[in-house]
Amino acid sequence: MAATDPSVLTSRAQVYVDDLAPGDEIPTLVKNCTPRQLVMWAAASGDFYEIHYDVEYARSIGLPGLVVHGALKNAFLGQLVHDWVAPGGRVVTFGCSYRGLDYPGEELRCGGTVREVFDEDGEHRVALDLRIEGHDGAVTTPGTAIVALPSRGSQEG
């Protein structure tokens, strides 16, 4: 299938450490949660806090409506880096801070920038700065990751 919007595609072509330099951007992952997705996440993660699926409860404590789980946003960043390094790489470390709330029905743009390329524990590794930008472009969820990637020279065919 031909690509439609390259910014939202999950890359399946292997990324190699040789081709990376600090400042490189990785492909953006765009999410837009429905209440259904929040309920699916509640079941999958075991987080049944009512602000994520009971809109009356959320409003009763002063929120404008349902709130996207922080841990789901963290999982989006995990998918962002997994999709980028697959199939030959692996996610070593990833995480984020929760600085702002995000809501269903809003576009969340998950992105990352290469910070450093280095060798550690016998692997080629890449440190990344990650971010999720909410609907107004502000970063609600800054994060970091370290991934391991193959090099072109180390391919065993």
Partner 1 sequence: MSTANDLITPEVEASIGQEYPPVVHEVEAPGIRMWARAVGYDDLVFYDEGVARDRGFARLPAPPGFLGIPVSRPGDPEPGPPIRGLNPALTRSLNGGTEYTHVRQVLAGDRLTATTRIVEVKQRDGSIGPMLLITRETTYRRGEETVATLRATVINY
The site for partner 1 (CB under 8 A) is made up of 10, 31, 37, 40-41, 43-46, 70-72, 74-76, 78-79, 81-83, 86-87, 90-98, 144
Shortest Å, Cβ 79 to partner 1: 5
Residue closer to partner 1, measured from CB, 12 or 23? 12
d(CA 13, CA 74): 24
Residue closer to partner 1, measured from CB, 23 or 46? 46
| Cα 130 to chain centroid, rounded | 7
- The CA-based angle 99-104-105, given to 5 degrees, is 120
Q: What are the structure tokens assigned to 54, written together?
A: 């009971």
Shortest Å, Cβ 38 to partner 1: 9
Shortest Å, Cβ 136 to partner 1: 19
Assign residue 121 a region: left if phi > 0, alpha if psi is -120 to 50, beta otherwise?
Answer: left
